[in-house]
A and B are shown apart, each in its own frame.
Chain A
Amino acid sequence: MAEAKTDKDDKVIGSRLMMGARERRFRSIGSRIGHSTLILIASSSLIALLFIFYFIIKDAFPFFRLEGFREFLGSSRWYPSREEAEFGALAIFIGSGLVTLGAILFSVPVGVLASLCLSDILPFSLRQVVKPVIEMLAAIPSVVYGFFALVVFAPMLQEKGGSLLSAAALVVLIPLAAILVIVTSDLLSGMFTRNVRKISRVAAGLAGSAVSFYFISRIYVFLNGLEIASGTNALNASVILGIMALPTIVSVSEDALNAVGRDLREGSYALGATRAETLVKVVVPAAKSGITAAVILGVMRAIGETMVVWMASGNAARIPKPWFNLLEPVRTLTATIAGDMGEADHVTGSARYHVLFAMALGLLLFAFISNFVSEMIVRKSRRSGS
């Protein structure tokens, strides 16, 4: 009885395992259909990207037909709502560039140092504390940063901007000068014979401190005397954008630093290098491409950001004088798109509507190219690394 049952079971299992030819064909067609649907769905991001390009170009093109390139890129007279409308966007492009430059000047040194500290210096337990801080900085919505810039930071800059800037300069410059003086006096004293070395070192140190004290005090007095006419300016937007770009820069360059093998580090230590020397002369050069990619991603984050610059940059479409003056209000591409589209909404088809798409096209091309470049860099380094 029991035997018969197993026999029967075997037959059932056998018929399940071995398909007939018809069934097999059916299955293969089915799997082919499934496979192609899968590919179709998987290409949705490709399709989306193509559509984005197509629709932005489609709506940007009429602007160039109506107004041409020359005024758009060559003039800084931005009067889109006048009877005789002018669409010179040069000042806006420069505004975007200036704000991004300011953000990068702040966030690259801080970000790379922080990532070095995270990857090589901090003990594991502290790293677990710092990681969530970075994640939180990345998670906070941009409008919240913008609100902070407008409501908290701008009045602060306007009221005590001079003392704020001078204090920041002191915090950065004094340690820097001290290190510089010690190193140069050390190097200089190396040139003398042994018996005068100590004296020459002290002398060089004193001279160096006197010079640096003079310069630092000059800078301090200059910054302290600054009066900031409006708190919503390029500096405000730059600082906040810099903070927003930090998480990107830190996490990408930390990945790059971690990818540098232990053997390189150990070799350097074995040669008697200190940790700082190992990091600066061995690890950073080895992770150079990853850090470059991190900087590019940071630039993209800063230039594509809308809400912060819209709320905090002052939105004045003129070129600051001199061009690097961060204390003047500027207007950026993203803020122009966001601010003008509301008014231009009713006149779909006008040059005023299409110029915003032309700007978006500029942003899109910039993002696309820099993304491509950073990916190339990373891919190349990966190939040469392995």
Chain B
Amino acid sequence: MEVGTRKLLDRSFTSVGFFAIILMGMALLILLQPIIVRGLKAFIFRGTVEYREMSLEQFGRGNAEALARDLDEALEARKPVYDILDSFEEEMKESGPEFRRQYRSDFSELKGLITELLGPREGAKEKALIRKKYGQTRYDRALIKLHQVLFVEGYDYSDTSGMGKSIETPRAELFAGTTIERLFGVLESDIEKMLKPKMTLYWRFLFDESKDAHFFGGIWPEMLGTLYLSIGSMIFAIPLGIITAIYLAEYAGHGKFVSLLRTCISSLAGVPSIVFGLFGLAFFINTMHVSSSKSVLAGSMTLALLVLPTIIRASEEAILAVPRGYREASMSLGAGKWFTIARVILPAALPGILTSTIISLGRAAGETAPIIFTAAVSVGKPLGLFETLSQPTPALPWNIYNLATEHEAVDEIRHVQYGMVFTLVAMVLLLNLTAILLRARITKKLRG
């Protein structure tokens, strides 16, 4: 091959390598971007007057006087809408049965949509479900709902070879020539006055209980459950892990038993997380009966097994990284082995052990599969400390799955799902960041 070609190959190899790295970076960016942008919308959003009403009635927050003023203005703006609806109802009554048959179902659908948008009309019957008591509380959702009011979505199947294409026709066409046609223009131009959106900061999202299956409120029970589970798993995993690490680093030689032990540790690290879940169910709950059914305790124990190998390995590394001189100095001063380990080596290795613990904490907080059968439920109250011994809990990872796939109105609570994902990712990444910074400090210190 010519030198030119070889140089070109070399350069293209380099650029392919760079491409692989950039691909990884882009994957991270593409993953995090929607989570951060849309996750923040759970905390900061344009809340409508309906939101402020809900907030006052359900959580007792907000300024009642200002709300009353806003509501009055909003009702004033909504009046034309209701007037048009009423006059159309009159029109239906007066005209013949043909007219009525033509418009009845379309009209009731429209009325339903407007109720969903603006909330039940004043003087209407009190609804049982909280979500039915209010109109759209978030302005971005309200605009989507408005779009549903203005346009009818249909599917065009004329091209039989492919999939149906979605087409939208203005709803006004359905009511062409009737009094109601005006309504759509009024709605489109005055929606802001009817809902009075205001920038809202809802930091209590983290600390509120959810109302009506996550339609309103926050994620406190899930947060608390995740905290219980991850800290609980650490309570079991840290002592076991550190003692094992001490044994491996300070006592074990290179015998058969130790090599078997090491194989077991790496095998345990390779066991799929869902198998841990099944094991937790079969052993902790069905055999040991640590609790009658799912509980935080059983879940923590299962998670502890999952993170144990990580803690062992990292702690062993941290202990081995303590310079030999420390040991020798301690021994030469007449200290025994135990004393040396407990008072000299462990304190020196502590930052390294802490790093591994922090990373494992993040891992335990984010694992879903092991807690499905052992600890997690979809709906629950925040638990007291002693209830964790016998009660299951909602937890962030499980509820993200549950709300994104099994909730009755998946699309309407996207902001809650994104908020949960954002919270979980922020928790885990913050923990990892702490670990990275801590490690950087240790390397600096060890280098001297």
Residue numbers of A with Cβ under 8 A of B are 17, 34-35, 38-39, 41-46, 48-49, 51-52, 55-56, 58-59, 109-111, 113-114, 116-118, 121-122, 130, 132-137, 139-148, 150-152, 175, 179, 182-183, 186-187, 190, 227, 229, 243, 246, 250, 274-277, 279-280, 297, 300, 303-307, 310-311, 334, 337-338, 341-342, 345, 348, 356-357, 360, 363-364, 367-368, 370-372, 375
Within 8 A of A (CB), among B1-27: 1-2, 5-10, 12-14, 16-21, 23-25, 27
Query: Which B residue's beta carbon lies closest to that of A38?
Result: B247
**A205 and B5 alpha carbons, distance in the complex (Å):** 13
Whether A360 contacts B9 by the Cβ 8 Å rule is no
Q: Which residues of A contact B266 (CB under 8 A)?
A: 371, 375
**Best-buried of B10, B31, B240 by chain A (most CB within 10 Å):** B31
Whether A142 contacts B247 by the Cβ 8 Å rule is no
How far apart are B211's CB and chain A's nearest CB, in angstroms?
23
- B268 lies within 8 A of chain A by Cβ: yes
Whether B27 contacts A300 by the Cβ 8 Å rule is no
- B246 lies within 8 A of chain A by Cβ: yes
Query: Which B residue's beta carbon lies closest to that of A110?
Result: B20
How far apart are A223's CB and chain B's nearest CB, in angstroms?
16
Q: Can you list 27 residue pairs at the A/B interface with Cβ under 8 Å? A: A17-B334, A38-B246, A43-B261, A44-B244, A45-B312, A49-B268, A51-B279, A52-B279, A56-B275, A113-B16, A122-B21, A136-B432, A143-B397, A143-B401, A144-B400, A148-B34, A175-B12, A250-B24, A275-B13, A304-B270, A304-B271, A310-B401, A311-B401, A311-B404, A334-B369, A342-B372, A368-B267
- B87 lies within 8 A of chain A by Cβ: no
Q: Which residues of B contact A39 (CB under 8 A)?
A: 247
Within 8 A of A (CB), among B390-448: 397-398, 400-401, 404-405, 414, 417, 421, 424-425, 428-429, 431-432, 436
**A237 and B101 alpha carbons, distance in the complex (Å):** 49
Binds A, one of B54-62, B130-138, B194-202, B358-366: B358-366
Given contacts A142-B366, A375-B266, contact A274 B7 (CB under 8 A): yes
Whether B263 contacts A304 by the Cβ 8 Å rule is no
Q: Which residues of A contact B89 (CB under 8 A)?
A: none
- B117 lies within 8 A of chain A by Cβ: no
Residue numbers of B with Cβ under 8 A of A are 1-2, 5-10, 12-14, 16-21, 23-25, 27-28, 31, 34-35, 162-163, 240, 243-244, 246-248, 251-252, 260-261, 263-279, 281-283, 286-287, 305, 308-309, 312, 334, 338, 359, 362-363, 365-369, 372-373, 397-398, 400-401, 404-405, 414, 417, 421, 424-425, 428-429, 431-432, 436
Whether B366 contacts A136 by the Cβ 8 Å rule is no
Given contacts A41-B247, A137-B27, A370-B270, contact A114 B20 (CB under 8 A): yes
**A304 and B368 alpha carbons, distance in the complex (Å):** 13
Query: Which A residue's beta carbon lies closest to that of B373?
Result: A341
**Among B28, B260, B414, B425, contact of A151 (Cβ-Cβ < 8 Å):** B414
Q: Which residues of A contact B372 (CB under 8 A)?
A: 338, 341-342
Whether B263 contacts A140 by the Cβ 8 Å rule is no
Query: Which B residue's beta carbon lies closest to that of A371?
Result: B270
**Among B275, B334, B373, B431, contact of A364 (Cβ-Cβ < 8 Å):** B275
Whether B272 contacts A306 by the Cβ 8 Å rule is yes
**Among B162, B240, B417, contact of A41 (Cβ-Cβ < 8 Å):** B240
**A38 and B252 alpha carbons, distance in the complex (Å):** 11
Query: Which B residue's beta carbon lies closest to that of A368?
Result: B267
Knowing that A55-B283, A134-B24 are A-B contacts, what are 6 other residue pairs whose CB atoms are under 8 Å apart, sorted by A's residue number? Answer: A59-B282, A141-B425, A143-B397, A152-B34, A276-B14, A341-B373
**A110 and B7 alpha carbons, distance in the complex (Å):** 22
Whether B17 contacts A113 by the Cβ 8 Å rule is yes
Whether B368 contacts A275 by the Cβ 8 Å rule is no
Query: Which B residue's beta carbon lies closest to that of A280?
Result: B13
How far apart are A238's CB and chain B's nearest CB, in angstroms?
14
Query: Which B residue's beta carbon lies closest to that of A179?
Result: B12
Whether B270 contacts A300 by the Cβ 8 Å rule is yes
Q: Which residues of B contact A146 (CB under 8 A)?
A: 401
The 5 closest A-B pairs by CB, nearest first: A141-B366, A304-B272, A117-B17, A276-B13, A42-B247
Whether B16 contacts A348 by the Cβ 8 Å rule is no
Whether B17 contacts A367 by the Cβ 8 Å rule is no
Given contacts A139-B429, A147-B421, contact A338 B369 (CB under 8 A): yes
Whether A117 contacts B21 by the Cβ 8 Å rule is yes
Q: Which residues of A contact B246 (CB under 8 A)?
A: 38
Q: Which residues of B contact A34 (CB under 8 A)?
A: 338
**A160 and B64 alpha carbons, distance in the complex (Å):** 48
Q: Which residues of A contact B338 (CB under 8 A)?
A: 34
Q: Which residues of B contact A43 (CB under 8 A)?
A: 261
Whether A372 contacts B17 by the Cβ 8 Å rule is no
